[in-house]
Amino acid sequence: GQDWNVSILAQEAGKAALKEHEYLAKSFKLIEQERSYLRNQLVALGAKVYGSEANYIFFYLPQPENLPELLHERGYLIRSCANYHNLQAGYYRIAVKTRVQNRGLIKALKEAIKTCALY
């Protein structure tokens, strides 16, 4: 017999683990790219963006005050962090998604800010 004989099942498990590792590496790279894109776009809109290594971004943008409602009307969810300890209105958290979804969110943010400026 062969030394170190590896069963078919073990071989398949190894292939699956490798595919999983490749998938995770691609996912982390995508999140990193999209987080950077969102961060730059938010800064350009006047937001103060705080560091994040996760798949969300925490930022401060005081105007418009009803930002979550304005974005919800456009089909986007944003988490107000005003109820977090030591934070007030204007602090938000958003999820990092695909480029198409992130572009749509930034467009909706621009429209919300423009709407606020008109009043």
Distance CA 119, CA 113 (A): 10
Q: What is the DSSP string of 1-28?
A: --TT---HHHHHHHHHHHHHHHHHHHHH
Residue 2 belongs to a domain: no
Task: Say which CATH number the domain at 37 has.
Answer: 3.90.1150.10
In this prediction, residue 12 has a pLDDT band, given cuts at 50, 70 and 90, of: confident
In this prediction, residue 3 has a pLDDT band, given cuts at 50, 70 and 90, of: low
Q: How many domains does the chain have?
A: 1
pLDDT of residue 38: 95
Q: Is the pLDDT of residue 52 over 90?
A: no
Residue 3 belongs to a domain: no
Burial class (CB in 10 A: 0-12, 13-18, 19+), 59: buried
Cβ–Cβ < 8 Å for 94, 45: no
Model confidence, pTM: 0.78
